[in-house]
Structure 1
Amino acid sequence: MSDFLDDELCEFSLQEVDGECVVLRPLGEADVQPLFELIEGSREFLSDHLPWPVEECLTPEDVSAKMDAWNLQAQMANGACWGIFEKSSQKIAGCIMLGWVQWKNRSATVSYWLGQDFCGRGLATEALLLVAGESFAMGLNRLELTSSVNNLKSVAVARRAGFQEEGVCREYELLHGHFEDHIRFSLLARDFC
C-alpha cells in the first residue's frame, strides 16, 4: 500500500491496465474523434440516465476540452480517467473516471459509462474491478459510486463488482428537469479480493 502524507499532492501515474476483455488506458488526442463518435452514436441512450450527453460533448472540440480537464485532474491528484477499450474489437467502448479524491481520507468516487453497442458484455464490471484494484494499490481505502434507482444496469454493475449498498440519496440529481433518487454504493480495500 502506498504511504502518502495527508497534505502531499500525489500525481496519478495513469498507465494502461490490462484485463481479460478490456484494456483501460489514458486518453490521448488520437482518441478524440472515436470517443466523440461513440458518444454521438449513443447520445439518446446515454441521455436516459446522464445529463452531459445533451449538455456537453456536443462537438469533437468539446470532447477534447473534457479530456484536457480529466488530464489536469490527474496532474493535481484529484481524479483520473481511462478509456475502456474492448480487447476483441480494439474499439473504445466507454470511460471510467475517479473523482473527488480525498487523500487525507483515502477515498474517491468512481463513475463509468459505455456506449449502447457495448452494454451487456461484462465490460463495465471488469473495468470497475480493474479501477478498484488500481485505486487500492495507490493507497485509497474507499471507493463510492451512486447510480439512479432507475438505472438498473448500472446498479447491477456495482453489485457484480462487490460494491455494498449504503442507502438511497433522495432527489440526488436534477436530470432533464426532474429529480432522481440515487443508490449510494461503496467498496473498501478490505472487501476487495
Structure 2
Amino acid sequence: MSTELRLFRDGIVLRRLRWRDERRWLGLRERNRDWLKRWEAMAPPGQKSRSMTFGQMVREEGRQWRRATAYPMVIEVDGELVGRVSVSGIAWGPECGGSIGYWVSEHRAGEGIAPRAVTLAADYAFAQGLHRLEIAMRPDNVPSIRVARKVGFRDEGLRRSYLYIDGAWRDHRVFALTSQEPRPWHTWPRAQS
C-alpha cells in the first residue's frame, strides 16, 4: 500500500500520516488536547496505557494498512492538517465490518469537514470490500450525532458502558450503514473549484 494514497472531495483531502508530518501533527494534537479529552477513549485504571512516539505511530499505521485491519488517515484542508478519520476494528470473514471514528480541530469545527471526511472514508472502505460500517459516539456528542445522521447512517441504539472515556465508562449511540444501502452523499451537489 503506497503512502501516497490521497482521497479528495469538495476541498478536503484524506491521506496517510507521513514522517514529515510530525511537527504539524504534534502541534495539532497539543492545540486540541482539551477539546478532545471529553471524547477520546483511554485505558481504564489498572490497565497499562499504550503510549507511542510519533515514529512508532507511523510504523503501526503502516502495519494496519498492510494487514487491512485499519485505514487511519489525516484530514487536510488547503494544506492544513485539521483532523483525523479512521476506519478501525476491521474484521474480515463473515462480518466484513469496521468502525469509523473522526475528529476535527476545534478551530475548524462546524465547517462541514467531518461529514465529507466520513463519506470519503466510507466510500474507500466499501470499495475495499467491507460490508458494514458503524459510528459510535457518546449520546451527549450532539455534533457527532448530526454528522452520522447527515451522511445517512441509521441509529441502531445504545451500547451501555461501551468505552472508557474521560475517567468513566460511557454509553455510546451506535449508527450503521451497509454497502447495499443508499449513500445520500452521492446525490450532494459538488463544490465548485
TM-score using structure 1 length: 0.84
1:164 Cα offset (Å): 0.7
CA RMSD of aligned residues (A): 2.0
SS of the equivalent of 1:36 reads: helix
Structure 2 stretches lacking a partner, 5+ long: 43-48, 184-193
Partner of 1:191: 181
TM-score using structure 2 length: 0.84
| 1:154-183 deviation per Cα after TM superposition (whole angstroms, max 9, x unaligned) | 111111111111010011122232221100
Partner Cα separation in structure 2 for residue 157 and residue 65 of structure 1: 31
SS of the equivalent of 2:164 reads: strand
Question: Are the counterparts in 2 of residues 132 and 143 from structure 1 also a CA contact under 8 Å?
Answer: yes
Partner Cα separation in structure 2 for residue 130 and residue 185 of structure 1: 17
SS of the equivalent of 2:13 reads: strand
Question: Are the counterparts in 1 of residues 3 and 16 from structure 2 also a CA contact under 8 Å?
Answer: no
Partner of 1:103: 92
Structure 1 stretch displaced more, 14-23 or 31-40: 14-23
Aligned residues: 176
Partner of 2:58: 67
Partner of 1:8: none
Which of residues 136, 143, 147 is equivalent to 1:157?
A: 147
SS of the equivalent of 2:180 reads: helix
Partner Cα separation in structure 2 for residue 102 and residue 56 of structure 1: 22
Change (3 A) 1:33 1:22: same
Structure 1 stretches lacking a partner, 5+ long: 1-10
1:121-132 alignment, distance < 5 Å: 121-132=111-122
Partner Cα separation in structure 2 for residue 187 and residue 14 of structure 1: 28
Question: Are the counterparts in 1 of residues 39 and 166 from structure 2 also a CA contact under 8 Å?
Answer: no
Partner Cα separation in structure 2 for residue 102 and residue 140 of structure 1: 9
| 1:101-135 deviation per Cα after TM superposition (whole angstroms, max 9, x unaligned) | 12212211111111111110010100000111111
Partner Cα separation in structure 1 for residue 29 and residue 4 of structure 2: 23
Question: Are the counterparts in 1 of residues 38 and 166 from structure 2 also a CA contact under 8 Å?
Answer: no
1:192 Cα offset (Å): 3.5
1:48 Cα offset (Å): 1.7
> Is 1:81 matched with 2:72?
yes
